[in-house]
Chains A and B, each alone.
Chain A
Amino acid sequence: MRLLKNIKINFTKNRKIAFIISLSLIVIGIVSIAIHGGLGYGIDFSGGTLFELDFTPADETIDPIEIQELRDCLTSNGYGDSNIQSFGDPHHILIKIIASEDVQQDQIEIVRIIQENFPEFTSDKEMNELVRRSEHVGAQVGEELRGKAFVAILISLLGIIIYIWWRFEFTFGIAAVIALFHDVFITLGLISIFNIEISIPIVGALLTIVGYSLNDTIVLFVRIRENLKIYRKEKYESIINHSINEVLSRTIITSLSTLIVVVSLFIFGGKVIHDFSITLMFGVIIGTYSSIFVASPLLVEYHNWKQKRSLKDRHHRSKKR
């Protein structure tokens, strides 16, 4: 079976449209980030405490707990800032509080308040049954981790530029890295639009996207490098277009198979890695798009610009004479 045979789509001709789409996606992302007042950092990076509590009642006839009721109870006990939401199952509730002076004490206190006020959900449970998960990160540690994550992304981008520079040309490396920044920016925008908090796993997902998108871009670049040697006489733009068409079926099949497993991870992987799999899903789609519509057309743009400049130079020189 062949998905695409002998197709000749002119990808580079309409590259302006692609650039406009990309730019508007980035702008939308920036606007969303601005509206939300910056990126939403999870407790990994901002510090704070998070619990996932199991409110499954012993008696099945009791209705699931009302989130509003829980919120009121915590507010009346001085924890008005806490963020409460159900986590998949209506009995599983996630409570987040931002870092305070003594988070240690807050944690004990909140569990005590809940045990006192909602005995029908909590009384028959041992501590580790009630608290399914608890995470606490000190504010200072959060800040440090944020810095580290930033450095990590920079280092990996630098490593990639150097590698591509060595294997291809400097321009290829720059084009690939611009495409990567493009992917990361758009994904960050989508993260902000979907209100996903940035946690350590999300940074992991972002770096994975970088790796994946690059994978795609390099396969394309290898083909371009090859074809540039074979078809020396052809126009630069058409060689690139030709190359994209040649690897297109590979790109689609690989993206599809990766997308299949990421979607399966999203649907069946459980709530804990929900955000992680959504981010990967965005990333795979955007990464595939950017290698075709951003990275390779950028090579064309650069080539044209360089040619124009050398023409001008020649023009100048001839004038002087």
Chain B
Amino acid sequence: MKKNWFRTVCLIIVFLVTVYYLLPLVVKKDYVKCDIEVYDQNKQKIYEIAEMDYKLGSELYGIAFDEAISLIDVNDSLVVSGRLPDEILRSIDADIDYSQNQNIKVFALEKFSEASLPTWFSEKRLKLGLDLQGGMHLVLEVDTEGQSADVAESSVKGALEIIRNRVDQFGVSEPTIHRIGNNRILVQLPGLRDASRAKELIGKTALLEFKLLANNEDITQTVDAIDDYLENNYDKYAYLKTIKETTEEKSAVEETLFKTDDDLSGEGSEETDEKAEGEVADTTTAILEDKEKGNLFSSLVAIYGQTLVVKPENLDLFRKVVSLQEVKEIIPSGIEILLGKVSPDDPYGARQLYFLYDQVELTGAALKSADVRIGQGMDPKTAGKPYVSLEFDNEGARIFSKVTGENIGKRLAIVLDNIVHSAPRINDKIRNGSAMITGSFTMSEAKDLAIILRAGNLPSPVNIVEERTVGPSLGSDSIKAGFKAAIIGLVIVVLFMVFYYKTAGFIADIALVSNVLIIMALLTMLKATLTMPGIAGIILTIGMAVDANVLIFERIREELDSGKTVRTAIDNGYKRAIITIADANVTTLITAMVLYQFGTGPIKGFAVTLSFGILSSMFTAIVFTKFIFDKLIANKPRKSLSI
């Protein structure tokens, strides 16, 4: 009797846990509140639906973002369906080209959940693998050939930091980045839209360089040269037409409040030449405003405070123009045009623009360390604020001292992988090989910069040795196919069991269905990822799960044949079958464990679902069905059993 009490509690706990993890999958539906605006060719707003709610469907069958948007129907019944994770919601407000001549803008305002489940209720979701939701799987190898073990180790660690940093900036939801083996790094980017860009960003060698900013004359010359060239070769590039049209409206140059720039100064000296900065601002403004015609290129550039920026809507065009081989040839030699880094506050905002001299003054190889410090003293510009302190090795210190000594008052850009991270002004000759980058950093910005600088210090090449990309459409096709196969297989097996074992078969079916639910709950609970082979594993489990019950039922039949009573037949049948079931399942568990050890990605998923399947099927087929049988017999003594 005591044992029965224990079993009942066990069953109730399993039932509650299953409900706890599965209910949110079924009940919860997400809403999003959006403004949707439709523009015509000339960017005139022709249609607007403000602050409407759109249902996004269950997350279990998550449809990728692309599909959600493609279902937008431009009439009164406007539908957005699909699954939009928070991370993607933030990026919706980009233009989406629609049916060639119309532009739709979607502004996501807020996300709501429909189900009124209490907040303490499980927030966990079943995570879908890359093969099911689309995305990218990369294995990178850090080339450590010829390096000593210590150096190789720090090369790999540095590369890991760089990649993590880059992926963070890329803004992918729930990326996985970790080290596998000695010198390999696994990167998984679910739901990724632009695989080639990601690959380029991640696979590139981190190269840290210090370069001087060009002076105003050179900038003017460069801008003029490009403007002239574009004006003269206007017919050659069809896309220039878009610039012409937008410049007609002539975007007003935005003036904002004076903003303090970063300073690069020898430690202890914090002098700034505000007057000089003012002049820079004036002249750069002049570069743009003095021109009356032939300003195709400069119209892509705006002034923000005292810095040149490229607005987000002009970024693509800007990149196209700058990457033209012809343009590279006509700009004054020694000048390089680079963009600043993406701002963490506003990832889709304007990008700063820099004109640099392409001569490399110093590389990251000369950097000894970079750390975040908090400023001391009374100066309001640095006191209590984080800054990045740099230290060069002997050779680096010598060069740095020379460069800073010769270029006081100029700005020195810190360039990582051709992106300018900051361009502080040189206030003093810095002799001791240590420098600091101050400015309006938050603590995490300063930390990031220090990481980039440290990481850039290790220029070991990184190669992509394995790459798998799955598009969102294939992913959702796979899910649909997998669920279809699972449900059809399940239904046939269920019918078969009822047909063959009658009432007992029905009991086994209840166990079978709850087995599938428990596997799903286990996967959700342990934050495992459901992959396509994982679904195959579940389907296979459905077939094999009945085995335990078949074994038990056959034993019971044998016992009944030999003339035992119903109760003894059931008890003996279970007792004898359990040994067989355990022996048979342990060997399958052994193979599942080996698969887990050996497998990568999808195969691991398969092994996990297979093991969960075996364990939970043993539970449901033995404990659960025995419970039902006992209840059946306890209520009214039976002479025969429908089996």
Give residues in A with beta carbon < 8 Å to B: 1-3, 52, 54, 104, 108, 126-129, 131-138, 140-141, 148-149, 151-152, 155-156, 159-160, 163-164, 167, 200-201, 203-204, 207-208, 210-212, 214-215, 218-219, 222-223, 246-247, 249-250, 253-254, 256-262, 264-265, 267-270, 272-273, 276-277, 280
Does A151 lie within 8 Å of B598, measured CB to CB? Answer: yes
Q: Which of A204, A215, A249 contacts B599 (CB 8 A)?
A: A204
Closest residue of A by beta carbon distance from B583: A218
Does B551 lie within 8 Å of A261, measured CB to CB? Answer: no
Does A201 lie within 8 Å of B543, measured CB to CB? Answer: no
Does A262 lie within 8 Å of B194, measured CB to CB? Answer: no
Q: What are the 7 tightest A-B residue pairs by CB atom distance, in nearest-first order?
A: A270-B481, A258-B543, A261-B489, A152-B598, A264-B489, A138-B465, A261-B543
Q: How large is the interface on B (under 10, 10 to 19, 20 to 34, 35 or more residues)?
A: 35 or more
Contacts of A152 in B (CB 8 A): 594-595, 597-598
Does B472 lie within 8 Å of A128, measured CB to CB? Answer: yes
Query: Does B478 belong to the interface (CB within 8 Å)?
Result: yes
A-B contacts besides A204-B603, A261-B540, A265-B539, 18 pairs, CB < 8 Å: A1-B501, A128-B472, A129-B473, A134-B469, A136-B467, A152-B594, A163-B587, A208-B540, A253-B546, A257-B496, A257-B543, A257-B550, A260-B492, A264-B488, A268-B484, A269-B536, A270-B480, A272-B478
Give residues in B with beta carbon < 8 Å to A: 66, 131, 134, 139, 141, 192-196, 203, 463-474, 477-478, 480-482, 484-486, 488-490, 492-493, 496-497, 499-502, 532-533, 536, 539-540, 542-544, 546-547, 550-551, 554, 557-558, 579-580, 583-588, 590-595, 597-600, 602-603, 606-607, 610
Q: How far is the CB of A122 from chain B (nearest CB, A)?
A: 14
Q: How far is the CB of B233 from chain A (nearest CB, A)?
A: 23
Closest residue of A by beta carbon distance from B492: A260
CA distance A267 to B492 in the complex (A): 14
Does B547 lie within 8 Å of A133, measured CB to CB? Answer: no
Known interface pairs A129-B473, A134-B469. Does A262 touch B587 (Cβ–Cβ under 8 Å)?
Answer: no
Known interface pairs A131-B469, A273-B536. Does A155 touch B599 (Cβ–Cβ under 8 Å)?
Answer: no
Does A164 lie within 8 Å of B595, measured CB to CB? Answer: no
Does A269 lie within 8 Å of B482, measured CB to CB? Answer: yes
Does A127 lie within 8 Å of B588, measured CB to CB? Answer: no
Q: Please, could you name 5 A-B residue pairs with CB atoms under 8 Å apart, sorted by A?
A: A208-B606, A215-B584, A215-B588, A270-B485, A272-B478
Q: How far is the CB of A115 from chain B (nearest CB, A)?
A: 12
Q: How far is the CB of A227 from chain B (nearest CB, A)?
A: 12
Does A135 lie within 8 Å of B500, measured CB to CB? Answer: no
CA distance A24 to B35 in the complex (A): 70
Q: Which of A128, A135, A223, A277 contacts B194 (CB 8 A)?
A: A128
Closest residue of A by beta carbon distance from B605: A204
Closest residue of B by beta carbon distance from A156: B594
Contacts of B607 in A (CB 8 A): 204
Does B474 lie within 8 Å of A247, measured CB to CB? Answer: no
Q: How far is the CB of A5 from chain B (nearest CB, A)?
A: 9
Does A268 lie within 8 Å of B488, measured CB to CB? Answer: yes
Contacts of B551 in A (CB 8 A): 219, 250
CA distance A276 to B599 in the complex (A): 15
Q: How far is the CB of B475 from chain A (nearest CB, A)?
A: 9
Does A156 lie within 8 Å of B465, measured CB to CB? Answer: no
Does A141 lie within 8 Å of B139, measured CB to CB? Answer: yes
Does B195 lie within 8 Å of A3, measured CB to CB? Answer: no
Contacts of A273 in B (CB 8 A): 532-533, 536
Does A260 lie within 8 Å of B489, measured CB to CB? Answer: yes
Closest residue of A by beta carbon distance from B463: A138
Closest residue of B by beta carbon distance from A251: B550
Does B547 lie within 8 Å of A164, measured CB to CB? Answer: no
CA distance A307 to B91 in the complex (A): 78
Does A222 lie within 8 Å of B482, measured CB to CB? Answer: no
Q: How far is the CB of B285 from chain A (nearest CB, A)?
A: 39
Q: How far is the CB of B461 from chain A (nearest CB, A)?
A: 13
Contacts of A203 in B (CB 8 A): 603
Contacts of A258 in B (CB 8 A): 540, 543-544, 547
Does B500 lie within 8 Å of A201, measured CB to CB? Answer: no
Does A141 lie within 8 Å of B466, measured CB to CB? Answer: yes
Closest residue of B by beta carbon distance from A108: B196
Does A163 lie within 8 Å of B586, measured CB to CB? Answer: yes
CA distance A254 to B492 in the complex (A): 13
Does B194 lie within 8 Å of A127, measured CB to CB? Answer: yes
Does B546 lie within 8 Å of A272, measured CB to CB? Answer: no
